[in-house]
Structure formats: structure tokens, C-alpha cells
Amino acid sequence: MSESVGLRATVAEDEAFLQRVYASTRAEEVARIGWDAAQQQAFLQMQYQAQRRSYLMQFPAAEYYIIQRTAEDVGRMIVDRSSDVLWLIDISLLSEHRSAGLGSTLIGDLQAQAARVGKPVALHVDKSNRARHLYERLGFVKTADGDIYIEMAWRPSAEQMG
């Protein structure tokens, strides 16, 4: 990829941007409900806050990042490295930056980091999320099946760890 893609730690001033990223991931779904713009915004803000609290409770050691593309903020990534599994808790891009290889690049970097320390990478994905195909293409396989989400994992090969 000729463009520079990277991560930086989130700061308090990123809150509005993080809400915008979250809203962009649910915009199509919420638009189908038929609410006006104010109702949609209120619902998405409530859902963002609920997700944020849930992540903080479930993954207190998680690292929160802003994804940058040529120094422009374009998404978020949340990773928990505190257990024997490297958890990709969330990776989300603003809609205009999807399907450009950024997710593949960042997940590939995460897989390389995991291989260096001999850990698998695991994630949960909504069954209807198109990103599931990306994860499969990158070598993730289904390890558990829930009502809404499936758990997927990627394990480094011996050669990758060597």
C-alpha cells in the first residue's frame, strides 16, 4: 500500500470522532427504522455509550487507537493483549475509507505481532457483518457460534512464530 496507515492512542478529545465512527457503522441499519435525524442521533449516541461501557467492563486492559490514513483520522481499533489470546475487540472505519485495504493491513500487522509472541488472535463478529469475509480471507476460522455473533480465531503457524 503506497499510503501510510497507522495507529495512535486515543485521547479525550477524540470522543466526538469515535462517536462518528460508531454511528457510521450503524447508519444503514438505523436509517431503515424510519426515525427522524434527531431520533437516530440520540439512539446512536446511547448505543455508543452502552458499547463503550461494555468494552471497559469486559476488557479493562484494552488499548484504544485511532486509525490514521496519511495522518487523517479514519477509524478506530481496540485490542486487548492482556491474556493468552490477543483480542481484536473492534476495528471500524468511516464508510468512505472502507474497502481500501486498511483493515487488511492493520489486521495483518496484528497477526504478525501475535505470531512474534506465539498468541492466537480472536474476535467476535456479527453474523450479518460483511467484515466476516475479510476475516475468513485473512485466515480466521469460526470457533464458536452464538445467536448474534460468531467467535473467530487465527492461530500462527510454527513458521510464522519462528
Q: Where are the domains of the chain?
A: 5-161
Q: How many CA atoms, within 13 angstroms, populate the side-chain half-sphere of residue 99? A: 3
Q: How many residues does the chain have?
A: 162
Distance CA 127, CA 125 (A): 6
pTM score > 0.85 for this model?
yes
Kindly state which CATH superfamily the domain 5-161 is placed in.
Gcn5-related N-acetyltransferase (GNAT) (3.40.630.30)
Mean pLDDT of 38-56: 93
Summarised one tens digit per residue, pLDDT across range 3-39 is 689 999 999 999 999 999 999 988 888 878 888 888 9
Instruction: Give SS3 for 117.
Output: coil
